[in-house]
A and B are shown apart, each in its own frame.
Chain A
Amino acid sequence: MPSLYVHVPFCVRKCSYCAFYSLPLGGEGSERGNIFKYLTGLEREIEYCYTEAPAGVSSLFLGGGTPTVLNYQELDSLLKLIHNRFSFRSSVESLSIEKTVEANPGTIDQEKLAVLRHYGMNRISLGAQSFNDDQLQSIGRIHTSADIELGVKLIREAGFINLNLDLIFGLPGQTMEDWKTTVNRAVSLTPEHISIYALTLEEETPLGRRYCENSPSKHDNASLPDDDLQADMYGWASSFLNSQGYIHYEISNFAQAGFEGRHNLSYWQGEDYLGLGPGAVSCLNGIRVKNVQDIDLYRNNLVSGAKSLNNGEVEYLSQNQRISEYVMLGLRTTKGIKINLFEEKFKMNIQDIYGYKLVNYIDRDILSLEDGWLKINPAYLFVSNLILQDLIL
């Protein structure tokens, strides 16, 4: 059973580090016309592909962009489209279906939250990023730390009991003290889940360009924390969050017991997923398709009856690529890869695939193989690429 992801490609404005497909939606002007195009397209897309999940979907993630930049009527339309066609079925009997929506401070109000609750959305992932207002501004965020606190208050008042806060470290000019303050303030809001992401400079973003090797302005900008400092920030946060009752369950993710993100875990466990919306990616039975990343093409293709939304971006994964991805994703989690699941899935013995390599990592205490689980020693999570690149087939 796949999970369901719906991409909402709109933001108030684009943050300088963000490489996701998203359109700025400043005022109430003509830009809002895009939302109509989007909903028209999405309706068609759902009609075409809800049959891809005949047994239903295991979770819902409404991501972006900023889904909550839609007004409450638009949100209502969107959720109605989804719930009309998809049935939700938990992969674990006793658990309720996880339905997450991403939100940004400054874009939520009681009405929107009520609509979300109405459709059973039960988890909110709030893009807090930092509690330092200068740093928030420097990366193009629209909100202040006070907006975060207000947002959390509204979310709690609306009855959400599963809240995630996203935080970024390694921001320009950020010190260890800044970071500690941010994490402390996040924890003081008692979210059930916290994600901490090392800032990734993507080439095609303004921030990436500002800090790329050849940028003339590179030296005029507040310097980026170096790798050693970032590693220290990560290490500190990991142990601090641990001491506050958050379990480190994936490279960048921490949660109170029972609040691990189940939708995201399904990616890391190599489950299929259905992605809807412009720029969204689906992966079903080893075929990965990326939807066209253009709101007009997206809508026009669908309205004119073209079921296939890809722009030539179809990938038929080879057995080796599937294994590589399974390992790359599975080892992100602190539980690791369950060997018998791996072998059931690929009909191959993992030792036969990696042979001496695996033994070598285990001997060096970099990987461990215990009780049928293969995992990366947590001390190496922040350098996990060094191991993963070696395990890519």
Chain B
Amino acid sequence: MAQASSRIRNFSIIAHIDHGKSTLADRLIESTGTMSTRELKEQVLDSMDLERERGITIKLQAVRLHYKSKDGEIYELNLIDTPGHVDFSYEVSRSLAACEGALLVVDAAQGIEAQTLANVYLALENDLEIIPVINKIDLPSADPEMVRKEVEDVIGIDASEAILASAKMGLGVEDILEAIVKKIPPPQGDDEKPLKALIFDSKFDSYKGAIPYIRVLDGKVSKGTNIKMMSSGKLFEITEVGVFTPNMTIVNELKAGQVGYIAGSIRNVRDTRVGDTITNAERPATEALPGYRKAVSMVFCGLFPVEASDYDKLKDALEKLQLNDASLMYDNEVSAALGFGFRCGFLGLLHMDIIQERLEREFGFNIITTAPSVIYRVNLTDGTQVSIDNPALLPDIANIVSIEEPMVRASVMLPSDYIGSIMELNQEKRGTFLNMDYITAARVNLQYELPLSEIVYDYFDQLKSRTKGYASLDYELIGYKEANLVKLDIMLNGEIVDALSFIVHRDKAYARGRKLVEKLRGMIPRQMFEIPVQAVIGSKVIARENIKAIRKDVLAKCYGGDISRKRKLLEKQKEGKKRMKQVGSVEIPQEAFMAVLKMDD
């Protein structure tokens, strides 16, 4: 039965944002007749609105293509998409594990970017066959030869057969399809062996329940099969088996080497853990697949419903999002200022942004987000160490011996013109220079050790603005280092607002405190009393501004004819206040809680 899988190819596409991955995927779908041009509204793989707006892939998607090769055979090509942003390397590793090969798409005018490089290394670790594709050769500034050399020099793979393409113009698409068939090995595996399928993704459908996306390694699965989740031992009966065309389409069975989905009234989202192995309950496999290492949350923030009564609904929404996004972590959090909410862990800032936006858009929540934090390790006088992801929970200063912060090794690829400017930025960000490689005469790969908290703060924005958008960044966690860190609290009307506290290097505390206090003064509307806004470290005030008291808010006239109208005016005013959070005697607009982060002006 190994014959069936000899005509299957499973592959993904590795590309930097904007290097043309989605357009190329569209062309592949189109030219294999999987979908007509008309059906293919635009870039079907980026099916989330958010993805289309931002021009990036967040959630990995899969699609099955049928391609009639020049050898006369029809091949089943399964494309599993990968996200192209630094936050999502975990998702990339998931899709790569379900493939035997990958297209490396590089922009002919821009060359390799930091994140592409990181993903290629991931693919090589997974023993994937890499097919280099130099895209956008139609651009006037395209320099395919330079890029070909870059691929060889930087990645160290043979690029002599790199395919020159323009997905936009439809150039090279046929060559790419042929290369997929010829170069990428067919999946190994045996239909007759006990079922072994890897869950590489899942989604929740309100009718069908949790739907795992699977890659079958051995055996087969069809409607009626009783399956077992190997990590939990839970049993389910399969009610539907299908593939992505790219819409979900029912098929009779999925066999070794194939990619598709299964459904089986799996109610509980926790039962379809990405990375788990599915096997046949009656004829189980003896050993599970290696699975995935747990996604590491690097950035944490508090999410609070504006309406306290939305707490349970928010919890449900997070649970649903987590089903589609195993890298999202959340736990209960109670804030003196904001009440009951959730402490959430994200892969990075973009990830955080996206989750927040999806909660607002798809679930219609009004939420308050607190400033992001990293995990600090705090060494206490009693010899123990605690990890905190919430500045408000930092132990009393008297009990702290030292604080350690997470450090990353950051690679920045940039045109050499901007080296000075980015070195300066890294200096400001408390970075330590590690290395600098010239990729070509005009481009360098700059490596620094940087505190993660500095990257979280406004590094991306700075990087972009200082290089006119030409730099790309990748980073990996390398460990913890002790630093002179302090907790900066904000006091409004003499009371600490826990949700506004953050941890900062002592040398930067004054400037950050000053800026934040000024910003808050501008954001918090005038109220009945003058409100002092203070930044404090311990008991020491380092910055202060005053929000002057409001002095006029009155109905000058109110006689028989206008009583209704005036009452309604007050009702409207009351309604408007609902967007504010009452903290002690002060009303704070929601945006103020994010002010800590957005101080780059």
Contacts and interface: CB of A to CB of B under 8 A. Distances in A.
B557 A5 contact: no
B554 A382 contact: yes
A328 B557 contact: no
Contacts of B566: 328
A325 B552 CA distance: 21
Interface in B521-570: 527-528, 550-561, 563-564, 566-567, 570
A281 interface: yes
Interface string A327-351: 0110010000000000000000000
B527 A386 contact: yes
A29 B54 CA distance: 68
Contacts of A325: 563, 567
A392 B577 CA distance: 12
A227 B550 contact: yes
Contact of B567 (A230, A268, A324, A364): A324
A380 B528 contact: yes
Given A267-B563, A315-B564, A200 B557 contact: yes
A268 B454 CA distance: 59
A392 B567 contact: yes
A295 interface: no
Interface in A179-230: 197-200, 227-228, 230
Nearest to A281: B561
Given A366-B528, A392-B570, A252 B551 contact: no
Contact of A383 (B528, B557, B567, B574): B528
Contact of B574 (A3, A20, A315, A389): A389
Nearest to A360: B585
A231 interface: yes
A388 B570 contact: yes
A197 B560 contact: no
A390 B554 contact: no
A11 to B, nearest CB: 16
Given A324-B567, A328-B570, A385-B573, A197 B528 contact: no
A381 B554 contact: yes
Given A197-B557, A383-B528, A230 B552 contact: yes
Nearest to A7: B561
Nearest to B555: A385
Contacts of B564: 281, 288, 315
Contacts of A381: 554
Given A288-B564, A321-B567, A383-B550, A251 B556 contact: yes
A384 interface: yes
Interface string B500-530: 0000000000000000000000000001100
B552 A227 contact: yes
Contact of A389 (B557, B561, B563, B573): B573
Contact of B554 (A3, A283, A288, A385): A385
A131 interface: no
Contacts of B551: 227-228, 230-231, 382-383
Contacts of B557: 197, 200, 252
A275 interface: yes
Contacts of B574: 389-390, 392
B42 interface: no
Nearest to A235: B551
A275 B562 CA distance: 12
A197 B570 contact: no
Contacts of B553: 382-386
Given A231-B551, A383-B554, A389-B573, A267 B559 contact: yes
A385 to B, nearest CB: 4
B558 A332 contact: yes
Nearest to B561: A281
Contacts of A285: none
A288 B564 CA distance: 9
B153 interface: no
Nearest to B526: A227
Contact of B570 (A198, A251, A389): A389
A137 to B, nearest CB: 22
Contacts of A268: 558
A3 to B, nearest CB: 8
Interface in B568-599: 570-571, 573-574, 577, 585
Q: Which of B552, B553, B570, B571 has the most CB of A within 10 A?
A: B552
A119 B527 CA distance: 50
A288 B560 CA distance: 10
Contacts of B560: 3, 5, 267, 273, 275, 281, 283
A298 B567 CA distance: 26
B398 to A, nearest CB: 34
A379 B7 CA distance: 85
Contacts of B558: 251, 267-268, 328-329, 332
Contacts of B577: 389
B550 A329 contact: no
A332 B585 CA distance: 23
Given A380-B528, A388-B570, A389-B570, A198 B554 contact: yes
B583 to A, nearest CB: 14
Given A197-B557, A383-B528, A231 B570 contact: no
B554 A384 contact: yes
Interface in A341-393: 364, 366, 380-390, 392
23 contacts: A3-B560, A5-B560, A20-B561, A197-B557, A227-B552, A267-B560, A273-B560, A281-B560, A283-B560, A315-B564, A324-B570, A328-B558, A328-B570, A329-B563, A332-B555, A364-B585, A382-B552, A385-B553, A385-B570, A389-B573, A389-B574, A392-B570, A392-B571
Interface of B: 527-528, 550-561, 563-564, 566-567, 570-571, 573-574, 577, 585
Given A273-B560, A288-B563, 9 more contacts: A5-B560, A7-B561, A230-B552, A264-B559, A267-B558, A267-B560, A281-B560, A385-B573, A390-B574
